[in-house]
Structures are given as C-alpha cells and as structure tokens.
Chain A
C-alpha cells in the first residue's frame, strides 16, 4: 500500500492562499487505508480548517467529498460535476491521485493535503513501515525476502557494511535492524547462504526516468497503429 501522512495545517492554509471556496476531495484507496486521507480524515481536516479560519474571521467554504479512488477516471462522475463551483481542490490522495485530478481539471489549482511517504505495510493500527522503493528490478528472491534497497541505509547489494552494531542493528540507528544482518540470518536459517556469497554485479537502475507498464494481455489494445 502507498502510505502518506498529512501536511501541517499551516502548510495547507498557505497552499490555499486566498481561495474561499474549496472542494476537499478524499480518496477511498490507499490513503484511506493508512488513515491519512479517507472520509474520516477529510472530515477531521475540514473541522480543523474551519475552526482555524473561524478564529481569523471566517469566510472559507469547504465541501467534503470522498470518492472510491482518485487514480482512475471511472470514479470521478460526482467530483467532476462539483468542481466547477470551486476555486480549488484540496486532495487527500497520494501524489499520483493529486496529479490525476490536476490533469482532469487543468484550469484549477489542485493542492496536496498529504505528503506521500512510501510503499509499506502495517505494523499496527496507524503504524506503517517502508518496505519497497519500487526500484523496478526485484531482488527479494535472493535476499531472503528482505529488501536491501529499501531497508539498508546505503542500499548495498553486497552487504553488510562495516558498521553493523554488535546487536545486529544498523550503524545509522541502533534501534533499526541492519538489513544485511537480517538477510544473513534468514538465508542461513533456510540453508541458502550461497545466494549471498557470490558478488552481485552493479545493477542497472530502472527508476531513473518515468516508467509505464502495459500488462502483456493488453499490449495489443494499446499498440500504436
């Protein structure tokens, strides 16, 4: 899942500037699941904005709407109908959702209410941890299911570096496990240490320009004539 967290109220107010009529657009996808941008968080955000603006003389009209997903046009009927009545859209989707809305309504300022943080999984309710940098060339099959690109502070492919602490934590933070210490432990347990005793050559980075994916069965559909 894509994990995001909300910007500060001050930053959001700064982005809104002099806009008086704002559509606050929630997303029912990832940012709803990570408790940053779904219906409930949109309600809370509007309440906070209202309270703050009221203290300063009021005059901000907010309309709340949460759609199923902001990254696919099939969910936009309601939002599209409303947008024309507003001076700006404040989106609580991830960065992709914000851009999707902005592309649909190029004449309107579409503003992010969140900072998109990472791809990760749940550690507990409201607690998430980064686990994938979407590097485009997955090595998990050879690293015991532990991502060195994301979880090693230096993204080493032939770790561990010289800094691993005696308790098996990273040189950067003594509370964070060293990815390569964990990789070694797991592969040892599986009897597959041979996977990391050979030199892994320099990799080709696949994420240096914008990427697109067309799944194999759909290639014909999108083929240029």
Chain B
C-alpha cells in the first residue's frame, strides 16, 4: 500500500469506488464544513476537498481536509498549481501527510481571471503533470524536487484529473498517458454527459493499456435544473452536454426536473459500472451534498465496502 488510505484499499480490492466532493466555505465557518460533511459519511470512500475552486478564495483545502478527518470522512486533498510555487507545494504535501491526509489530487487550477482576484499573479511554477511527478518522487524515492533527501516521505495516493471532452479529443488519451507515466495512481474525470464520447475515450485508454495501470473514476454531476443544464452546456469551457439531455430535462414537469437529473445520473452510473476500464465514479453533487445519500442509494452503490486497513508500512527508505 502506498498511502494506507481507504480509497486506495477499496480500489486495490477491486471494488467499484465512489468519491464525493465538498467545497470549503468562504470563511472560517467550521460548522459549514461539518454540515456538508455529515450526509457524505458512509456514502463515499473519500471526498475531494476543492482548492480555491474557480479561483475564488475559500478556507484552505488542507484545513478543510483535516475537519473532514475529524468528522470520519477520508479527504482527497486537492492542490492547484495556480497558487503555490514548488516550495509551498512540497511543504504542504509534507504537512498534509504528517496530519493524516492520505489522498491528493493534482490540478492545474482554473485561471485566476475567473475568480475574485482576477488580476492576481498566477504562479504556475510547475504544471499538474510535473506536480504529480514531484509527489511521486517525494513518496517513492524520498527526495525533494531538488534531489535532496526527505526525512520521512509523504504517504499519499496520487490522483489526477482528465477531461475526455477537451479539445483536441484525440490527444486527451495521450495526456492521460502522460499523467500515468508521471505517477498518477487514480484519475477523476471531468463531468460526463456525453456517454458515447466517454466510451470512445475509455476504449482508447483500454487499448493503450492505461486502465491496467491507473484507476479511472468517471465524473458524474447530476443536473439539478434546466438552467444548470444550460449553464453547463454553454458556460463551462471543456464541457460537453448533448442537446438530447437538455431536451429530456426540459420535457418533464418543472417540479420533477431535479428528480429527472438524479435519474439520469443513476442510469449513467449503471452504464459506467458495465464499462471495462472504469474503476468507480466521482460524484460531484455541486452544492447538493445532502442529496448524495439518495443518489448513491438509488444507484445501488450502498453499502460502501469496508476494507480492513492494511498493516502500517515503514516509510520508504527505512525498509
């Protein structure tokens, strides 16, 4: 075991994994975190804690991760390249691991121009693929990016993102391959609405042998309403929402649209479970955390597997 965390144990045991997502509050409001965490407990194998998502300042992802640990939820600590240079990143990685965080997700991050400080200086000292490789080197070789030795390497299960729908489509699987080569243990994809296109992406990943090397969790975000569906279709760069899906939501009574969104998500999950190369789902119920129990229940994903934690391993370098 690389991390000793629950998500890794679930995936290694071959279970169909479920991860959730929790956006930290815009303040130091601990209760807000607890309130969002409560419905996720026992419903997901780990929960992503976003890092200044959409470039808007929020409670830091590592601090929110720690609150989740207190609440009995395993965090997947997200880290973006926009806000930190390699010194700050390595320091936070060590700190996160020291305090019991066992998963992290390496991301480029939304550009600062989208956020609440649009003219701030974006760091981008290293990119997400270089970050993946840096964490892997820290963990497996007990070395900093500088090559110097680490006293007690971090124990982290390394995640990366993939967007099968960004252009150029044909290169996306190669970028996935780069993330695997850099050291990603698991992948969480962008929200999937175009199942046919995602199927083609996974086929390519299967053909290239990538799904043998990395656990791919397919991104699901239930559409809450018609405006949300339209927003996703038109305003989120790199998102692909087929017209038919929007029509389907439009076609039901306004009061039943949220339910229809969940129904669609459940159908997608069923389809994904059958898909070779898909190891689980990443359920991003944006500002809809309290609906997660209902969604996972209706999708037949309960109860979540209880995998006995493996015996603790001595850190690399001491064995």
Contacts and interface: CB of A to CB of B under 8 A. Distances in A.
Given A158-B178, A197-B174, A164 B167 contact: yes
A199 interface: yes
Contacts of A174: 237
Contacts of A8: none
Interface size class of A (residues with CB under 8 A): 20 to 34
Interface string B143-185: 0010000000000000001110011100100110110011000
B130 interface: yes
Nearest to A182: B168
B166 A156 contact: no
Which of B111, B168, B178, B240: most chain A Cβ within 10 A?
B168
B124 interface: yes
A162 B161 contact: yes
A69 interface: no
Contact of B167 (A154, A181, A197, A205): A181
A178 interface: yes
A50 interface: no
B126 A202 contact: yes
Interface in A151-197: 153-168, 171-172, 174, 178, 181, 184-185, 193, 197
Contact of A197 (B125, B130, B145, B177): B177
Contacts of A162: 108, 161-163, 166, 190, 238
Contacts of B238: 162-165, 171
A201 interface: yes
B175 A163 contact: no
Interface in A95-120: none
B122 interface: yes
A158 B145 CA distance: 17
Nearest to A201: B130
A184 B168 contact: yes
B108 A165 contact: no
Given A163-B166, A171-B238, A181-B168, A197 B161 contact: no
Given A171-B111, A202-B145, A165 B167 contact: yes
Q: Which 5 A-B pairs have the closest CB atoms?
A: A162-B163, A171-B237, A158-B129, A202-B130, A163-B237
A154 B111 contact: yes
A198 interface: yes
A154 B83 CA distance: 11
Contacts of B240: 166
A158 B181 CA distance: 12
Interface string B167-209: 1100100110110011000000010000000000000000000
Contacts of A164: 166-168, 237-238
A146 to B, nearest CB: 14
Nearest to B180: A199
Interface string B81-123: 1100010000000000000000000001111011000000010
Which of B113, B114, B129: most chain A Cβ within 10 A?
B129
B167 A168 contact: yes
Given A162-B238, A171-B237, A154 B124 contact: yes
Contacts of B250: none
